[in-house]
């Protein structure tokens, strides 16, 4: 098989699917119940009571595995599938009838992303401000775990103030190719340093 133009041949696409994407798809298919359980537990364990499938309040101390199992059992297949994909830009699907809200994410890892609508169109406002922090590679070059913790605290506080549940960061990818245009986001090519700084973050 030739490089370059061979990419346009159907056989190449079939081999690419079999070698790369099919195992990944099969792997993630098995993780769907785990993802749903973790998502539901994160919501059920909040201090603010969340209604479960029976309309009762769940708190951090009353949510049990049985509660989560009953909540999952009450979900339709469409609702379960809706939990594992975006319902808009930077949101995951919720299940309002069961009291499961959308999870709102923010692109990190160097600051909370500017606000935009559900269609990726930025909101034009002068009040959309946040702290832009140094890049991950600059942070890691300090070798200062305490600074990494403070960095993460700033991001977490700003995300919480802006109603975000998840920050897409830190960038823990090990820098393997100098051609990657997003290397500046990652902490380091050194796995030890990345682990040390990422833990504090």
**CB atoms closer than 10 angstroms to residue 90:** 19
CA 118 – CA 103 distance, rounded (Å):
13
Of 126 and 6, the structure prediction assigns the larger pLDDT to: 126
- Say whether pTM exceeds 0.85: no
pLDDT digits (tens, 9 = 90+) for 152-166: 999 989 989 888 888
Is residue 117 domain-resident? no
Regarding whether 142 and 86 lie in a shared domain, the answer is no
- Predicted pLDDT at 51: 47
> Do 82 and 138 belong to one domain?
no
What are 26-74's pLDDT values in tens digits? 555 666 566 666 666 665 555 444 444 434 444 555 778 888 889 889 9
Task: State whether 175 and 85 are in the same domain.
Answer: no
What is the domain extent for residue 69? 1-101
Q: Quick one: 10 and 79 in the same domain?
A: yes
What is the C-alpha to C-alpha distance for residues 155 and 134, in angstroms, rounded to an integer?
Answer: 12
95 and 143 part of one domain: no
Whether residue 199 contacts residue 145, with contact meaning beta carbons closer than 8 Å, is answered with yes
Q: Is there a single domain that holds both residue 96 and residue 133?
A: no
The answer as to whether 115 is a domain residue is no
Co-location of 88 and 138 in the same domain: no
Spatial contact of 172 and 180, defined as CB atoms under 8 Å apart: no
């Amino acid at each position: 098989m030739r490089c370059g133009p061979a990419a346009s041949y159907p056989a190449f696409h079939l081999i690419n699917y079999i070698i790369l994407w099919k195992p990944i798809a099969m792997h993630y298919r098995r993780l769907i119940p785990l993802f749903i359980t973790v998502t539901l537990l994160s919501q059920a364990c909040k201090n603010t009571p969340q209604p479960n499938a029976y309309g009762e309040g769940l708190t951090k101390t009353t949510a049990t595995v049985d509660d989560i199992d009953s909540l999952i059992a009450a979900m339709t297949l469409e609702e379960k599938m809706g939990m594992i994909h975006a319902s808009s830009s930077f949101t995951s699907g919720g299940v309002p009838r069961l009291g499961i809200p959308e999870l709102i994410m923010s692109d990190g890892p160097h600051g909370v992303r500017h606000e935009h609508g559900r269609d990726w169109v930025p909101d034009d406002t002068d009040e959309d401000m946040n702290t832009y922090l140094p890049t991950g590679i600059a942070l890691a070059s300090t070798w200062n775990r305490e600074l990494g913790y403070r960095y993460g605290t700033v991001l977490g506080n700003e995300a919480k103030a802006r109603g975000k549940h998840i920050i897409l960061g830190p960038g823990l990818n090990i820098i393997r190719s100098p051609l990657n245009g997003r290397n500046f986001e990652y902490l380091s090519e050194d796995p030890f340093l990345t682990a040390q700084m990422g833990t504090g973050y």
